[in-house]
Amino acid sequence: MKVYSPETIEETTKILGKLKGNVHLLAGGTDLVVKVKEGTVLPENLINIRKLPLDYIKEEGNQLRIGALTSIETIHRSKPIRTYAPILSDAAGKMGSPQIRNLATIGGNIANASPAADTVPPLFVLNAQIVLKDQKGSRVIPIEKFFSGPGENVMRRDEILMEITFRKCAQSDEWFFSKLGQRKALAISKVSLAFRGKVNQNRLTDVSIALGAVAPTVIYAQRTARFLESKTFDSALIDEASRIIQEEASPISDIRSTSEYRRRMVGALLKQGLWELKAGVSPD
Amino acid sequence: MSVIGKSEIRKDVRLKVTGKAVYIDDLSFPEMLWVKVVRSPLPHGLIKRFNPSSALAVQGIVSVLTYKDIPGTNVVPIVLMDQPLLAEKVVRYIGEPIALIAGEDRQAIEEGAREIDIEFEKLPPILDPLMAMKEDSPKIYGKDNIFSHHRIRRGNIRQGFEECDLVVENRYTTSYQEHAYIETQGVIAVPYEGRMKIYGSLQCPFYVQHAVSSVLGLPYSQIEVIQTTTGGAFGGKEDVPSLVASQAALVAFHTKRPAKLIYTREEDVESMSKRHPAVIDYKSGVTKEGYLKAVQVKYVLNAGAYSTLSPIVLWRGTVHAVGPYKCPNVKVDSYAVATNTVPCGAFRGFGMPQITFAIESQMDELANRLHIDPIEFRLRNILRKGDRTVTGHLIKESMELEKTLKKASQIGWKREREISNGYKKRGMGIACNYYGVGLGAGGRHLAKAGAWVSVLSDGSVNFAVGTTEMGQGMETVLSQILANELGVKYERVSMVPTATTQVPDSGPTVASRATVMSGNALIKAARPIKKSIMEVASKMLKSPISKVKLADGYATSGTKRIGLDEVIDKCFQQRKIMSSQGWYKAPYTSWNKATGQGKPYFVYSTGTNLAEVEVNTLTGEVTVKRIIAVHDVGKVINPQTAAGQVEGGVLQGIGYALFEDMAPAGGKILNTNFSTYILPTAKDAPEIVSNFIEDPYPQGPFGAKGLGEQPIIGVAPAVINAIFDATGVRIRDLPATPEKIIAELNSHHPTFIPLGRR
Ligand SMILES: Cc1cc2nc3c(=O)[nH]c(=O)nc-3n(C[C@H](O)[C@H](O)[C@H](O)COP(=O)(O)OP(=O)(O)OC[C@H]3O[C@@H](n4cnc5c(N)ncnc54)[C@H](O)[C@@H]3O)c2cc1C
């Protein structure tokens, strides 16, 4: 195994462009090192990207830009993210443990392409864009186009994930992120759900819902979102929406849970979140 | 002031928290080889071909050994002698050792292991114990696949049930539980002038000595076992290190070089012992006044491919199969059954957490159906002094279950429930248990312990015992006992690492026995030394011996006092006996194998756990809010280590109740590390209120009984009963995962309304 430790982006993309054989980028290593230990990944070339200047959170007008190497803990605690994308900060705080959050990066969470990655459903409802770069230049991909299957994404082998950008949320946006794990910390999501929308005169508008761990990639629950916008926000609407959303999921059974439970929980998490939202917004 | 009952600082704490404690993997010796075990990938199969040549060709590989290289007997001696150290022709579980590879470093042995060429012929495996018990099933052990069968017969079971107003009958099942000691199995074997020294992470040095001796064909005297700092054990390092040490020793024997063998977490989980999965058919009957009349139990343990300690685990579960209750008509049949799965063995509680889950679930259900408060119902049935257990044992002393029950209920049993918030339901559950301290009649020949005490001329004290420190606090508690006995300061006392050369065979460090057994042996060892000190002090103080008291580093008589260091110095000048051996034999026990009657244990510890939970009925998630654990332990020697035992046991019990699940597929354990084997974390920990009832046990050191295992035993049923109280859902298959709770909540069975909610 060859290890490279480039210090600039140019150097990195050059190495990436040149190398033959398999190449793996190492950020926090909390996914990659586990796979190397398990033997499912045997890197011939390892590029340690931790020295690259990609650890930042920037506000530009109504945009937020997050560098790929920003740690999950930094995102959880960041003032601008708490203010303008509280759902992302909340989801980051529900990941792993303090040790993991300090090492893990948002770029790694996305590039790893797990359907259970916890920053991804919030990034879906934030309509985030992913910025990729190779030797020749950059390209921008909407997050929902980034994933092609469990553990698979559309990045080419000579590209690096540079940053994530999205529009700031309005103060009036309602949101919640719910995650079910096998315990209260250090738990990979069995099911997760990100909700964003507005409540106007007892109606929901601008609803966006993303689901984690119940399909080969994170998905939008579009039918449910449209349905929620169609009628008065009351308990009948909530009940019906939590039925519809179960049809949008296509979960599997694995070592962490069963498909049946996961499907039911998609509905339960929506119901629980909307009830709490409703109780806080306008009592029935 | 007495050192007994004081929270002295643990002897091992400084080294451990500063990272200076030396665990087995921290040790190395010149010329040391690394060892790796080649294991079976099949649950059942024949070894058709074994070719080590390509492994031997790997650079750095020194030796590949099989059963043919064993100079002694190819058996790990435990109870039934059925387990080979290395498989010969047949493999019987996934992970069974076949060969040993020794090399110059870790990389070489990993590569060597990949190169080993073995061809198998698959045989159909039996994975389910109930299938294995069927007459027409293939046999993997004896005529019936049954390693061990125990029974209790008392009264007339048929008539008993006829006299009942209510009979409840259910099946309970439990999963494996993994010990999850932080330090995996590890041993270094060092050949030394024809002898073999074994250093290792282990609970029972004498077991290891006997095993290595039998495998190498050397006398016990040539095998020296030294325990290194042991990072947790919980029963998982009781019999199993015998196997690990024999593997390392075989390599050291042949290569004449030190051999180090450290298991990876994955191979440890795959191949090492665990808590047995159980299937329990439990039928109990009561009168409408709430008195237990009849209990019938069939208790089946999935023992795995070899018997290891299963016969004794099963025996303990059998003895306690009715719980700490009176019952005139009892029929218990228990079986440890062979299957092509990993051999199970000792784990804190030793066959009792499984059966106690069934017992206390039944008790709760009976109380609810009778509309009697579960505490009141238990009070009508519990054992008190003067009662007989279901094995006919007349309890004469130290039985304060009633006090634990009343104390727990006084701390936290609220009939007025907290208002449940919509879909989040609150509930409370209770469970009692008792635990026979020590090995009992099932291990009578081992129920002994030795100790050696040496007071040095500067007044400091060394002692050695045959039981081991594994994180449970034994060294601390025994130091307190000895300090108190000799009157020296606690800080002056220290234990030398446990080794087979220090003291006679003292049996294993299991069964919550170390405080009572080694504590008593130490007190006996201290006697002649104390006599020396008293005699000299009496002269120095010019006071009759009967007036002299030793405490806190001083000899005193009335208002006169003198420093013990000075007295001890004088003892040495006068060449008094200042070091001595002690020997303690456990009190009488008995057992009739045909009837299950007798006095199986010399004393019982008892306890009550009360759990308060919140169940999210939308997601099935259970949050344990609070556990109140009250234990009757005779006497608390060190309140802090005692509370520590309880807190650890409670968390382990919560893991058993809610999280820890292992469902092997085709005999293969899928979750072999802690990313998928789910242990509770600090965030899952409830508020834990621990409380102790102290009714001195006259035969115990300063009145102490055992506490080590008690804390885990009643936790799961208390939690499960609380889930029932909250939701009306009764989970009879551990662990109670959200998946199971949701399935039950959404099933169309008429749910039974818990008493607290009517
Ligand atoms: C104990 C534990 C608990 C965990 N808990 C959670 C949890 O609760 N929720 C959750 O979502 N995840 C969890 N994870 C998974 C993991 O921590 C996260 O996915 C983390 O964000 C990965 O980031 P990293 O920097 O460590 O990635 P790495 O392991 O360094 O990389 C992961 C993958 O992404 C690629 N990569 C990384 N950075 C870039 C880049 N800039 N450009 C291109 N490719 C890149 C790497 O090549 C690799 O393939 C947990 C992991 C562990 C070990």
Please state the ipTM of this predicted complex: 0.95
CA-to-CA distance for B641 and B697, rounded, in angstroms? 19
Contact A96, A103 (CB under 8 A): no
Task: Specify the 3-state DSSP secondary structure of B708.
Answer: coil
Task: Specify the 3-state DSSP secondary structure of A257.
Answer: coil
Return the number of other C-beta atoms located less than 10 Å from residue A167's C-beta. Answer: 15
Ligand 1 atom nearest to B675, measured from its CA: 1
Show residues of chain A in contact with B746, CB under 8 Å: 264
Task: Specify the 3-state DSSP secondary structure of A160.
Answer: strand
CA distances to B54, B116, B218, B528 from B57, in Å = 5, 10, 32, 62
Instruction: Fill in the DSSP letter of residue B90.
Output: E
Task: Specify the 3-state DSSP secondary structure of A101.
Answer: helix
Q: Tell me how many degrees the CA angle B726-B693-B478 measures, rounded to the nearest 5.
A: 120
- CA A29 / ligand 1 centre spacing (Å): 6
Q: Tell me how many degrees the CA angle B352-B357-B360 measures, rounded to the nearest 5.
A: 110
- Interacting residues of B158 by C-beta distance below 8 A, sequence separation 6+: none
- Residue whose C-alpha is closest to residue B704's, from B446, B517, B511: B517
- CA A28 / ligand 1 centre spacing (Å): 7
- CA B107 / ligand 1 centre spacing (Å): 27
Distance separating the N- and C-terminal Cα atoms of chain A = 63
Contact B557, B548 (CB under 8 A): yes
Residue nearest to atom 15 of ligand 1 (CA): A31
By residue count, chain B amounts to 758
Q: Which two tokens stand for residue B627?
A: 């556990």
- CA A160 / ligand 1 centre spacing (Å): 14
Ligand 1 atom nearest to A132, measured from its CA: 42
Write out the H or E segment, with its range, that includes residue A148.
strand A147-149
Q: Do B618 and A271 touch (CB under 8 A)?
A: yes
Q: What is the pLDDT of residue B417?
A: 58
Q: What is the pLDDT of residue B757?
A: 46
Q: Which of B618, B671, B739 sits opposite A257 (nearest CB)?
A: B739
Q: Do A34 and B659 touch (CB under 8 A)?
A: no
Show residues of chain A in contact with B675, CB under 8 Å: 34, 188
Show residues of chain A in contact with B651, CB under 8 Å: none
Q: Do B675 and A265 touch (CB under 8 A)?
A: no
- Residue whose C-alpha is closest to residue B357's, from B38, B747, B53, B657: B657
Check the CA dihedral B417-B356-B642-B229 and report its sign. Answer: negative
Task: Specify the 3-state DSSP secondary structure of B323.
Answer: coil
Q: Which two tokens stand for residue A135?
A: 């030797």
Q: Do B659 and A265 touch (CB under 8 A)?
A: no
Residue with tokens 């179960």: A246
Contact B198, B225 (CB under 8 A): yes
CA-to-CA distance for B499 and B432, rounded, in angstroms? 38
> Which chain A residue has the Cα nearest residue B670?
A255
Give burial (CB, 10 Å; 0-12/13-18/19+) of B258.
Answer: buried
- Residue whose C-alpha is closest to residue B150's, from B441, B382, B348, B410: B441
| Helix A259-281 and helix B738-745, axial crossing angle in degrees, nearest 10 | 80
- A4 and chain B in contact, CB less than 8 A: no
Reduced to 3 DSSP states, what percent helix, strand and coil does chain B have, rounded to the nearest 5? 30, 25, 45
Q: How confident is the model at residue A283 (pLDDT cuts 50, 70, 90)?
A: very low
Residue nearest to atom 12 of ligand 1 (CA): A117
Q: Do A185 and B684 touch (CB under 8 A)?
A: yes
- CA A259 / ligand 1 centre spacing (Å): 25
Q: For each of the domains in chain B, give its residue range(s) and CATH number, in order of start.
A: 30-123+210-218+231-262 (3.90.1170.50), 278-440+593-757 (3.30.365.10), 448-585 (3.30.365.10)
Q: Which two tokens stand for residue B84?
A: 């080979």
Strand ranges in A27-128 using DSSP code E only, listed in sequence order: 45-48, 57-60, 63-67
* C-alpha distance from B269 to closest chain A C-alpha (Å): 15
Strand ranges in B104-227 using DSSP code E only, listed in sequence order: 117-122, 146-154, 166-173, 186-192, 195-200, 223-227
Ligand 1 atom nearest to A27, measured from its CA: 30
- Residue whose C-alpha is closest to residue B90's, from B98, B102, B80: B98
Q: Tell me how many degrees the CA angle A81-A85-A88 measures, rounded to the nearest 5.
A: 85
Rg (CA), chain B: 27
CA-to-CA distance for A281 and B243, rounded, in angstroms? 64
Residue nearest to atom 6 of ligand 1 (CA): A96
- CA B60 / ligand 1 centre spacing (Å): 35
Q: What is the pLDDT of residue B416?
A: 55
Q: Do A269 and B678 touch (CB under 8 A)?
A: no
> Which chain B residue has the Cα nearest residue A255?
B676
Instruction: Select the residue from B675, B745, B746 to test the A interface by mutation, using most A Cβ atoms within 10 A.
Output: B675
Looking only at the bridges linking them, the beta strands covering B549-551 and B554-557 are: antiparallel
- A182 and chain B in contact, CB less than 8 A: yes
Residue with tokens 């303990």: B316
Show residues of chain A in contact with B656, CB under 8 Å: none
Q: Tell me how many degrees the CA angle B664-B667-B669 measures, rounded to the nearest 5.
A: 40
CA-to-CA distance for B11 and B227, rounded, in angstroms? 16
- CA A22 / ligand 1 centre spacing (Å): 18
Check the CA dihedral B495-B501-B507-B510 and report its sign. Answer: positive
* C-alpha distance from A185 to closest chain B C-alpha (Å): 6
The mean pLDDT value for A58-70 works out to 97
pLDDT digits (tens, 9 = 90+) for A184-226: 999 999 999 999 999 998 999 999 999 999 999 999 999 999 9
Ramachandran sector of residue B77 (left: φ over 0; alpha: ψ -120 to 50; beta: rest): beta
Check the CA dihedral B440-B441-B443-B444 and report its sign. Answer: positive
CA-to-CA distance for A221 and A211, rounded, in angstroms? 7
CA-to-CA distance for B340 and B338, rounded, in angstroms? 7
* C-alpha distance from B595 to closest chain A C-alpha (Å): 44
Contact B582, B527 (CB under 8 A): yes
Q: Do A255 and B671 touch (CB under 8 A)?
A: yes
Q: Which of B423, B671, B680 sits opposite A183 (nearest CB)?
A: B680
CA-to-CA distance for B139 and B141, rounded, in angstroms? 6
- Residue whose C-alpha is closest to residue A160's, from A22, A21, A27: A27
Q: How far is CA B468 from the centre of its chain?
A: 13
Q: Do A184 and B671 touch (CB under 8 A)?
A: no
pTM of the model: 0.96
Contact B320, B436 (CB under 8 A): yes
Bridge partners of B198, per DSSP, are B189, B225
- Residue whose C-alpha is closest to residue B94's, from B125, B69, B118: B125
Contact A137, A10 (CB under 8 A): no
Residues flanking ligand 1, CB < 6 Å = A 24-32, 34, 49, 68, 72, 95-96, 100, 103-105, 107-109, 111-112, 117-118, 160-161, 186, 188
- Residue whose C-alpha is closest to residue B160's, from B355, B288, B292: B292
CA-to-CA distance for B53 and B619, rounded, in angstroms? 56
* C-alpha distance from B563 to closest chain A C-alpha (Å): 51
CA-to-CA distance for B675 and A167, rounded, in angstroms? 35
Q: Do B618 and A268 touch (CB under 8 A)?
A: yes
Bridge partners of B191, per DSSP, are B196
Residue nearest to atom 36 of ligand 1 (CA): A108
pLDDT digits (tens, 9 = 90+) for B317-373: 999 999 999 999 999 999 999 999 999 999 999 999 999 999 999 999 999 999 999
Q: Do B684 and A184 touch (CB under 8 A)?
A: yes
Contact B701, B519 (CB under 8 A): yes
What residues of chain B score a pLDDT lower than 50? Answer: 750, 757-758
Question: Which ranges constitute the DSSP H helices of B549-678?
Answer: 564-573, 639-654
Give burial (CB, 10 Å; 0-12/13-18/19+) of B56.
Answer: middle
Q: For each of the domains in chain A, give its residue range(s) and CATH number, in order of start.
A: 2-167 (3.30.465.10), 174-280 (3.30.390.50)
- A35 and chain B in contact, CB less than 8 A: no
CA-to-CA distance for B534 and B548, rounded, in angstroms? 7
By residue count, chain A amounts to 284
pLDDT digits (tens, 9 = 90+) for A19-41: 988 999 999 999 999 999 989 99
Task: Specify the 3-state DSSP secondary structure of B428.
Answer: strand
The mean pLDDT value for A92-100 works out to 97
